[in-house]
Amino acid sequence: MAKTYIFGHKNPDTDAISSAIIMADFEQLRGNDSATAYRLGDINAETQFALDKFNVTAPELLTDNLDGQDVILVDHNEFQQSADTIADANIKHVVDHHRIANFETAGPLYYRAEPVGCTATILYKMYKERGFDIKPEIAGLMVSAIISDSLLFKSPTCTEEDVNAAQELKDIANVDLDAYGLDMLNAGASTTDKSVEFLLDMDAKSFTMGDYVTRIAQVNTVDIDEVLDRKSELEQAMLTNSAEEKYDLFVLVVTDIINSDSKILVVGAEKDKVGEAFNVQLEDDMAFLTGVVSRKKQVVPQITEALTK
């Protein structure tokens, strides 16, 4: 039987990795024994903490050519965020909670997109709809993904469905949401031992916004200054990366996960439009954004509007 490849986006976060594993389990429960989870990048410290907590092995790094292969996409749909050979694959199913852009297929498919805070929340609903039992380790990954994407329910992307799902899953996973959530988020929050290149790539996505290609990286931390003390290094690396990859804009969002605020660092010819997007004046290419924590809801739409109007 031909393999079904399941994976989340490049530079995977906890939702991308967890959702690939969860979706593979879901497919196997449906009788698709060939369903296999993969990853498109390195496992970050937060995700590794969750995998270790629930004794789950990380998916294998995808290196296969996907030409003609059956694939299922989770936690993304935009081709520039996916596998390099995704355009040649046979996309059978998508489960996602992001905008739909730069996406088309040659044939029909199952597509489930919902405006919730986390792909794992949608997958939880799919298990319930099918009447499938949820194993403790799968429940643990679902909880981990929801906590990660919602910043322990503080993000504006978090919905009542996400909160309810986490509340229902915590007993199966045998965790205290607050205690476990803080431990997991803190596991991924330290930046002192990470290189500038790692910080700019560990949670970064590229977006086509009108005539512009914008790279938006996000670093979650408990100390914004700890990251931006290396501003000159970060700025130079962003400029170099932009020149190599032809980005028109590169935006770094440094988010304080405790106080739910962010500071941005911007490079690129259109950087003033980023200031316009948030109605702020960039000072030394930076600006403080009160209450901004969500790239998906509070950063991407605003910059898109500024670049396309």
Binding residues: 9, 13, 15, 75, 97, 149
pLDDT above 90 for 188: no
In the chain, % of residues over pLDDT 90? 93
Q: Which domains does the chain possess? A: 4-189 (3.90.1640.10), 196-308 (3.10.310.20)
- 14-45 b/e (C-beta count within 10 Å ≥ 16 → b): bbbbbbbbbbbbbbebeebeebbbbbbbebbe
pLDDT above 90 for 298: yes
Average pLDDT, the chain: 96
Binding residues for Mn(2+): 9, 13, 15, 75, 97, 149
Residue 70: pLDDT band with limits 50, 70, 90 = very high
Give the predicted TM-score (pTM) of the model. Answer: 0.81
pLDDT digits (tens, 9 = 90+) for 17-48: 999 999 999 999 999 999 999 999 999 999 99
C-alpha angle with apex 159: 154 to 165, nearest 5 degrees? 100
At 302 the pLDDT is 97
pLDDT above 90 for 78: yes
Residue 62: pLDDT band with limits 50, 70, 90 = very high
pLDDT digits (tens, 9 = 90+) for 83-135: 999 999 999 999 999 999 989 898 999 999 999 999 999 999 999 999 999 99
At 115 the pLDDT is 97
At 1 the pLDDT is 62
At 2 the pLDDT is 83
pLDDT digits (tens, 9 = 90+) for 200-228: 998 999 999 999 999 999 999 989 999 99
3-state secondary structure 256-297: ECCCCEEEEEEECCCHHHHHHHCCCCCECCEEEECCCCCHHH
Strand arrangement, sheet containing 4-7: 60-61, 35-39, 4-7, 70-74, 90-96, 110-113
Stretch 262-290: mean pLDDT: 96
